[in-house]
Amino acid sequence: MDDRQMSAQVQVELSSKSVTAALRTKMTIEAQATLREQERKEREQRLATLDNYLLKSTLSEKEKISLRQELAEKESEYNRCKRAKLKKSDFETIKVIGRGGFGEVRLVVKKNTNMVFAMKLMRKKDMIERGQTGHVKAERDILAQTHFTNDWVVKLFYSFQDDETLYLLMEYLGGGDMMTLLIRENIFSHDMARFYTAELLMAIDSIHKLNYIHRDIKPDNILFDNAGHIKLTDFGLCTGFHKDHESTYFDMVERASKLNLADLKTQRFDKDLAHDYKNKKRNLAYSVVGTPDYTAPEVFLQKGYYTECDYWSVGCILFEMLAGYPPFVSDDSVQTCLKIINCTETLQFPDDVEISPDAQDLIKKLVCPKEDRLSNLELIKKHPFFKGFDWDNIFEQAPPYMPKLKSPFDTSNFDEFEMHEEEAEEVEHSGKEKPKDLAFVGYTYKGFLNVVNSPSKKRHASGVTLSQIFSTHIAN
């Protein structure tokens, strides 16, 4: 290579680096501007929440002033907290509690504290190769957006990254997920199914009001808190109405299009298939492709969809609560997909399980073509299936399932996973700019509840703490 060729190559490399640096700067500025605006709104909301609480309280004026002063102190502490850089070694892994195609979830403790979290780890390389960067951002965004305002969504406390991995530090909910409970109970009673369907509907409505669609509502993604109430998790397929769809689903549609509806096994559900379904269910949850059992037909067909697709999933889950299996379960995912697309001909109720006429009617109104689907919470509340149900005081009701936990570290409601040797090693940050890092600019986040829930939280003469005020706050 002569001098002119070397000079040209150097210029190309410098030009490429300059473009990358300029793009990163632009993306960083935009991310910071968005974050500042979000933080401003959250500060105003925290102050409004406290003012609203104090207005309704019988606290003395001195106690009210003290609480306002403490909030101001916590805001300053929060600003300092946001400047501190987190790394994986700041947390001690207790146990792996979940593993899937895109990463895993661990129970961890923040060192030098007693703060317990569920840490979700995702490999950057996998996210990029599988076209998941948009979904990763959407998940982080909705978790950050609901950190303080929504008790139907699992709370995000931190998000950060190193050279190879993305980390989400969320509240640990020891009650396990609904799939575990369904496997354990087989079927729910009418009242139990009604209660958790009502909670699920309210949870979904709360994210729809933020202009998000979950798209992946299934028992695996419904967690139970320590009191037995549900929270939504795993927003990896969540969309703000403009992201790309999950390509693996459309591969199934293409394969299903080559089959004939007449080839489907549409006879009444046989018990051997039910047994196989229970055994395979967990393994499907851990795979990259997952299961299409709860996915609406319009999502498969790319015909355009809105919030209606999440209500389809609710109908499928209600069916499973009462029947013991989802409505379109088959020998393989392709047959399930074809059954879903032809739902008007393939939806069948079992003969050997009693499902009330009201429950069947609601399921039919949810598991149907989107133009006919009942997809408005206020209308669903009026359905006979919910006659007499107290929607306004749902958190005051005793849930049908009460987790029995021996300690904050109890993982008895989660499956067992082996700890791989390489999981104990931390990838150090090289400090060098990598092109793949551009995909995750602005990913870092620290939630305000970190400082409110800190071990040094202050208790006033009345016994009231900011933690109690804010932790019981539920957005309308």
pLDDT of residue 462: 65
CATH number reported for the structural domain that contains residue 261 in this entry: 1.10.510.10
CATH number reported for the structural domain that contains residue 7 in this entry: 3.30.200.20
Q: How far apart are CA 278 and CA 324, in angstroms?
A: 9
Mean pLDDT across 54-78: 88
Residue ranges at the known binding site = 120
Res. 247: pLDDT tops 50: no
My answer on whether 310 and 389 are in the same domain is yes
Res. 377: pLDDT tops 80: yes
Percent of the chain with pLDDT over 90: 41
My answer on whether 356 and 465 are in the same domain is no
Asked if residue 388 is part of any domain, the answer here is: yes
Q: How far apart are CA 115 and CA 108, in angstroms?
A: 9
When comparing pLDDT for 322 and 75, which is higher? 322
Domain that holds residue 39: 3-174+415-471
pLDDT classification of 16: cutoffs 50, 70, 90? low
pLDDT of residue 146: 86
Give me the sheet containing 116-123, strands edge to edge.
91-100, 103-110, 116-123, 165-171, 156-161, 445-446
HEC secondary structure over the chain: CCHHHHHHHHHHHHHHHHHHHHHHHHHHHHHHHHHHHHHHHHHHHHHHHHHHHHHHCCCCHHHHHHHHHHHHHHHHHHHHHHHCCCCHHHEEEEEEEEEECCEEEEEEEECCCCCEEEEEEEEHHHHHHCCCHHHHHHHHHHHHHCCCCCCCECCEEEEEECCCEEEEEEECCCCCEHHHHHHHHCCCCHHHHHHHHHHHHHHHHHHHCCCCECCCCCHHHEEECCCCCEEECCCCCCECCCCCCCHHHHHHHHHHCCCCHHHCCCCCCCHHHHHHHHHHHHHHHHCCCCCCCCCCHHHHHCCCCCCHHHHHHHHHHHHHHHHCCCCCCCCCHHHHHHHHHCHHHHCCCCCCCCCCHHHHHHHHHHCCCHHHCCCCHHHHHCCHHHCCCCCCCHHHCCCCCCCCCCCCCCCCCCCCCCCCHHHHCCCCCCCCCCHHHHHHCCCCEECCHHHHCCCCCCCCCCCCCHHHHHHCCCCC
> How would you classify residue 249: left for phi > 0, otherwise alpha for psi between -120 and 50, otherwise beta?
alpha
When comparing pLDDT for 32 and 472, which is higher? 32
CB 300 within 8 A of CB 249: yes
pLDDT of residue 5: 56
Give the total number of structural domains in the chain.
2
CB 136 within 8 A of CB 428: no
pLDDT classification of 285: cutoffs 50, 70, 90? very low
CB 320 within 8 A of CB 219: yes
CB atoms within 10 A of CB 213: 23
pLDDT of residue 312: 97
Q: Shortest CA distance to 218 belongs to which of 230, 206, 210, 227?
A: 230
Structural tokens at position 411: 């993982």
Asked if residue 391 is part of any domain, the answer here is: yes
Contact residues for 430 (Cβ-Cβ < 8 A; gap 6+): 163
My answer on whether 183 and 170 are in the same domain is no
Q: Between the CA atoms of 170, 171, 172 and 175, what dihedral angle is there, to the nearest 10 degrees?
A: -120
Asked if residue 407 is part of any domain, the answer here is: no
My answer on whether 114 and 149 are in the same domain is yes
The pLDDT tens digits for 291-324 are: 789 999 998 887 777 899 999 999 999 999 999 9
Domain termination residue (choose one: 350, 369, 396): 396
Res. 430: pLDDT tops 60: no
Res. 353: pLDDT tops 80: yes
Asked if residue 476 is part of any domain, the answer here is: no
My answer on whether 158 and 191 are in the same domain is no
pLDDT classification of 40: cutoffs 50, 70, 90? confident
Mean pLDDT across 414-426: 66
pLDDT of residue 411: 93
What sign for the dihedral angle of Cα 383, 388, 393, 398?
negative
Mean pLDDT across 242-263: 49
Contact residues for 121 (Cβ-Cβ < 8 A; gap 6+): 103, 104, 105, 106, 165, 166, 167
My answer on whether 169 and 224 are in the same domain is no
Mean pLDDT across 146-170: 91
pLDDT classification of 460: cutoffs 50, 70, 90? low
My answer on whether 26 and 154 are in the same domain is yes
pLDDT of residue 194: 98
pLDDT classification of 204: cutoffs 50, 70, 90? very high
Q: Record the pTM.
A: 0.80
Q: Shortest CA distance to 332 belongs to which of 259, 410, 409, 238?
A: 259
Most confident by average pLDDT, 85-94, 192-201, 295-304: 192-201
pLDDT of residue 113: 87
pLDDT of residue 473: 43
My answer on whether 264 and 375 are in the same domain is yes
Cα 410 from chain centroid (whole Å) = 21
At 178, give phi and psi (nearest 5°): -65, -30
Residue ranges at the known binding site for ATP = 120
pLDDT classification of 334: cutoffs 50, 70, 90? confident
Asked if residue 242 is part of any domain, the answer here is: yes
My answer on whether 346 and 462 are in the same domain is no
Q: Shortest CA distance to 219 belongs to which of 156, 120, 293, 311?
A: 293
Q: Shortest CA distance to 408 belongs to which of 104, 154, 114?
A: 114
Q: How far apart are CA 452 and CA 326, in angstroms?
A: 42
pLDDT classification of 275: cutoffs 50, 70, 90? low
Asked if residue 410 is part of any domain, the answer here is: no
Q: Shortest CA distance to 27 belongs to which of 445, 440, 446?
A: 440
Mean pLDDT across 246-256: 50
Contact residues for 227 (Cβ-Cβ < 8 A; gap 6+): 399, 402
Res. 82: pLDDT tops 80: no
When comparing pLDDT for 15 and 124, which is higher? 124
pLDDT of residue 88: 94
My answer on whether 217 and 163 are in the same domain is no
Q: Which amino acid belongs to residue 29?
A: I
Mean pLDDT across 150-174: 93
My answer on whether 216 and 313 are in the same domain is yes
Contact residues for 379 (Cβ-Cβ < 8 A; gap 6+): none
pLDDT of residue 332: 81
Most confident by average pLDDT, 1-10, 394-403, 441-450: 394-403
My answer on whether 168 and 188 are in the same domain is no
- 220 catalytic, yes or no? no
pLDDT classification of 416: cutoffs 50, 70, 90? confident
pLDDT of residue 297: 92
Judging by beta carbons within 10 Å of its beta carbon (0-12, 13-18, 19+), is residue 244 exposed, middle or buried? Answer: exposed
Q: By mean pLDDT, which of 28-42, 335-349, 460-474 is the weakest?
A: 460-474
pLDDT of residue 267: 43
Mean pLDDT across 70-74: 88
Strand partners, 159: 168, 445
Rounded to the nearest integer, the mean pLDDT of the chain is 81
Asked if residue 406 is part of any domain, the answer here is: no
Location of structure tokens 């998941």: 132
Asked if residue 383 is part of any domain, the answer here is: yes
Active-site choice (216, 220, 234, 310): 216
Strand partners, 446: 158
pLDDT of residue 242: 35
